[in-house]
Amino acid sequence: MDSSSRSSVIVIGAGVSGISAAKVLAENGIEDLVILEASDRIGGRIRKENFGGVSVELGAGWIAGVGGKESNPVWELACKSGLRTFFSDYSNARYNIYDRSGKIFPSGVAADSYMKAVASAIEKLKSHVGEVIENTCIPKTPIELAIDFILHDFEMAEVEPISTYLDFGEREFLVADERGYDYLLYKMAEDFLLTSEGKILDSRLKLNKVVRELQHSRNGVTVKTEDGCVYEANYVILSVSIGVLRSDLIAFRPTLPRWKTEAIEKCDVMVYTKIFLKFPYKFWPGGPEKEFFIYAHERRGYYTFWQHMENAYPGSNILVVTLTNGESKRIEAQSDQETLQEAMGVLRDMFGPNIPDATDILVPRWWNNRFQCGSYSNYPIILDNELVHDIKAPVGRIFFTGEHTSERFNGYVHGAYLAGIETSKSICEEMRKEEGRKSESQSFLLEPLLALTGSLTMSQTEAVSNLHKCDIPTQLYLSGKLGIPEGIL
């Protein structure tokens, strides 16, 4: 049992939305807050790891939406913090497409396949609005399947980028900093938590606290963790992922209302896996517009999208291949050695049998991580405004935040950042309303009492005089009208 006193707010999750939410609370004078994080670090789905002598980003790795009329808040934080980034232009990847014999498809063929993939996307959208379509644009050949994968699963990442591009610009920057992308979270934390030499020392941040139960009522929320600790607060900000909300990790007492659970189930969970391979030397093409290349296979998404890390880390000899959804789940269920064999088979298809074996491999497992249960949220193609409202709407004193609650920027780091800010502003407003209701209630109860007290207010002389007037037995005795034995008085 944790002995900490009742807090105003408990923030569950120390990812981007959780930290930004806590920061706004502190800026509004709410300092009796607690942050409970299930893992041993902050960052959530931003996570760095040392691999092959450099720092690689296993989760979010880009700052998307730069160069527009409006400044992306995450880009502002990166610039202010001096985060090392590199411009990424993967649009040229469609002209670096290898078949299984190692030949590069002619640019004209690639362009035609790209246009077909765009047409397929349009027809897919039409099908969701009820229009009858023909299957003339469905991708069938390896190159068509590869470009369809790039267009939907990588460039779009199945998340709608239009709002990001319109608001913040179309440029994207790869984070390549030894301090890691999560350095931005530490810089945010410095503004309201006790830190020293890059470490958070504040006791209000509690790591390795796996929340398993939320008991909520009109009077507050009780939070129970896996290690037996109990925390109490007036409000809770729940910043766990949509995947965790769909899992059974956290029990709600009472259970969430049907409208909430239905909204959560309608929001898809995407899985995005970056596999890192270390080699003794570089054997892939270099130079301008060669950073990204594509493998065309009969199976859609089979080790399709590749990137070398030479631009970010010269001499690192590291390749990254991106898998999504079904392929991500498949490789998570097998050993790293099996994955390595498959990846090497693909590379030898493209670059020949004499390339060296990888000396190391790093395979993240976001889907099977019970604290994440996936990589990001994805709303249905035809977005229902009521769904978005229900996803982020509070249930009593539990407020929900995260990239999945961002109507315009779900799936992005800046979506999580802005969602945390918005949620904290909402909870601050609710707290002000609650204080107002308490004041009105107290006034309602006190006014009659004050009125009565005011009518009884009198001087000391008046009080003594009135007391004597009210002392009937004494008055009768003094007047001789009441005979009382002296021993009784």
Q: Which residues are annotated as a binding site for FAD?
A: 17, 37-38, 211
Q: Decide: 225 and 36 in contact? Cβ < 8 Å.
A: yes
3-state DSSP percent of the chain in helix, strand and coil, to 5:
40, 20, 40
List the one residue out of 106, 91, 98 whose CA is nearest residue 294.
98
Q: Any residues with CB less than 8 A from the CB of 245 and at least 6 apart, and which?
A: 264, 400
Q: Given its phi and psi angles, is residue 194 left (phi above 0), alpha (psi -120 to 50 degrees) or beta?
A: beta
Structure tokens at 292: 């990204």
Q: Decide: 112 and 134 in contact? Cβ < 8 Å.
A: no
- Dump the DSSP string for 443-477: HHHHHHHHHHHHHH---HHHHHHHHHHH-HHHHHH
Q: Any residues with CB less than 8 A from the CB of 384 and at least 6 apart, and which?
A: none
Q: Burial code of 138-170, b = ≥16 C-beta within 10 A, e = fewer?
A: ebeebbbbbbbbbbbbbbebbbbbebbbebbbe
Helices (H) and strands (E) in the chain, counts: 14, 23
Q: How far apart are CA 239 and CA 427, in angstroms?
A: 13
CA 256 to chain centre: 20
Q: Interior CA angle at 162 toward 181 and 376, to 5°?
A: 45
Q: Given its phi and psi angles, is residue 434 left (phi above 0), alpha (psi -120 to 50 degrees) or beta?
A: alpha
List the one residue out of 91, 107, 97, 160 whose CA is nearest residue 304.
97
* DSSP code, position 106: P
- Binding site as annotated, residues: 17, 37-38, 211
Radius of gyration of the chain (CA): 32
Q: Decide: 271 and 366 in contact? Cβ < 8 Å.
A: yes
Residues in the chain: 489
